[in-house]
Amino acid sequence: MSKKTWKTSEDVLRLFHAVGRASLLHDIQDSHSGNMAIRHRDEAGNEWIVITATGSQKGDLDSSQICFLSPTETDFGYYKASSETDIHARILSLEGVAASIHAHTKDLTIVTLDDEDKPNQPAPFIPVDPLGYYYLGVVPVDWVEVPSGSAEMARIIPDRLARHPAAVIQTHGTFTCGRTLTEAFFLACIANNAGYVVRLLRRVGVDVDKLRRMIDSGPDSFFAYEPPAYTINDDEACDFLEEKEILREFRKTGARIFESRLSPFHTGSISVRGVNSLLYAPKGSMPYEIGGPLLEVPLETRDADSAELRLHKQIYAASDFQTIIHCFVPEAEAHSHWELPGHEGPVSRVVPIDAEGSFLYLVIPVVPARTGLDELVRLLHDYKVVVVRGGGAWAVGHQSLSEALHHLSSLREICLYRFGAFELGLDFRSMEPEKAKRW
């Protein structure tokens, strides 16, 4: 195989730049951390490992910071490539794997720390949120003596990823792999989100081990439903290209969901009702540079519908709503398991203590995972936004996507203010409006 110059194809550069930028926006990298790699076949049929250069800024990559390496021999590119190139090369040799990411997933890294004597075998991380539970399962955590580009990591990490979607090196971050770079990024975002939910739960004194035992005894009753399988190579699909205004609204809404961290990358969903069909984004959290499929589907339910799509259709059939957004707001998920002093069991509502939240809502209801459709629709009529414990948050609008998006954005801030008051040791119950106590 002939050696390749440092010039890269526009498609590869665009992909790496988009995922790198999204990583920075979602705060799972710092300005220079982590690395990304893919297997790539060029126009001449040559196979390459494409990887980011050592010390490159993932949010501002250019062609000089993307290295093409031979998968069979060490060439000059290794001197410029990431110090963890050998690790990525071994990951990319796994069956069905064509991409890998190492990310500094801060929240997951923090909740997997320990102060045990070393060497030791840290406990695996077990998610308690629906996304982490279904997409990741058990996440192995390993301590290594040299946690950066070492031979020990090159041995351990590929072995872990052969059996798990994600693996953590203690104090150093997360490795994920996938069929595409966006799938590997999706899993990295899911992993950090799972760590963030656990971190929030511990912050307010929730017994995480108890939650894990409850999940283990019956995940089907603990979670609303299993989220749809991640799809690849469909992010460019669009069934309503000619509808410029609504297309712009979908893309703007998806980008805002991602950038505001209302739902991890390519999770949640967005829909707008039509006469006999609905416009639907099954990967609702969509940064501008990556996007996601935008579909037009029949309004009537079909046997092939995912549980997510079916619920959109069922809500429309039982209501006069025109727009629906479903997000996995991590702060709302954590708040839904909060057991307040003097109350038995987790909260059944979120009460705003901030000025804007109190102006918009007296309370926001929190319901169990398996709440029936009639009750969910009734609450959406009354409150416009509902938190489903173990199932995300649903918001509706009568006119626009912006209307539904506002509810979810407000919900996140309301939860953050309540967590903040608790951390300050304030009697935040006394800060709740009197009307809310009678609602």
The domains located in the chain, with CATH, are 10-219 (3.40.225.10), 244-438 (3.40.225.10)
* pLDDT for res 80: 56
Cα separation, 4 vs 48, whole angstroms? 9
Residue 219 reports pLDDT greater than 90: yes
For the segment 260-276, the average pLDDT, to the nearest whole number, is 97
Q: How confident is the model at residue 7 (pLDDT cuts 50, 70, 90)?
A: very low
pLDDT of residue 206: 96
pLDDT of 226: 96
**Residue 76 pLDDT greater than 50, yes or no:** no
* Helix/strand/coil percent split, the chain, to 5: 40, 15, 45
Write the pLDDT tens digit of every residue in 181-214. Answer: 999 999 999 999 999 999 999 999 999 999 999 9
pTM above 0.75, yes or no: yes
Q: Which amino acid makes up residue 243?
A: E
Examine the pLDDT at 336 and tell me if it is beyond 90: yes
CA pair distance 104, 174, nearest whole angstrom: 6
pLDDT at 2 exceeding the cut of 50: no
Gap between the Cα atoms of 332 and 437, Å rounded: 20
**Positive/negative CA dihedral, 184, 297, 389, 323:** positive
pLDDT digit string (tens) for 33-53? 889 999 998 888 889 999 998
The percent of residues in the chain predicted with pLDDT above 90, rounded, is: 82
More confident residue, 336 or 42: 336
The yes-or-no verdict on residue 72 having pLDDT over 60 is yes
Cα angle: 241, vertex 264, 183; to 5 degrees: 75
- Report the chain's mean pLDDT, rounded to a whole number: 93
Question: So what's the pLDDT on residue 61?
Answer: 84
Q: Is the pLDDT of residue 8 over 60?
A: no
pLDDT value of residue 81 = 64
pLDDT of amino acid 62 = 83
CA-to-CA dists, residue 238 to 248, 251, 291, 295, 307, angstroms? 12, 11, 10, 6, 21
CA distance 27 to 110: 14
> Is the per-residue pLDDT at 350 higher than 60?
yes
Q: How confident is the model at residue 77 (pLDDT cuts 50, 70, 90)?
A: very low
User: For residues 127 and 192, is the Cβ–Cβ distance under 8 A?
Assistant: no
pLDDT tens-place string over residues 132-174: 999 999 999 999 999 887 899 999 999 999 999 999 999 999 9
Residue carrying structure tokens 């090369």: 89
What pLDDT digit, counting tens, does each position of 280-308 carry?
999 999 999 999 999 999 999 999 999 99
Residue 439: predicted pLDDT: 65
Q: For residue 54, give the nearest of 34, 29, 74, 24 by alpha carbon.
A: 34
pLDDT at residue 10, rounded to an integer? 84
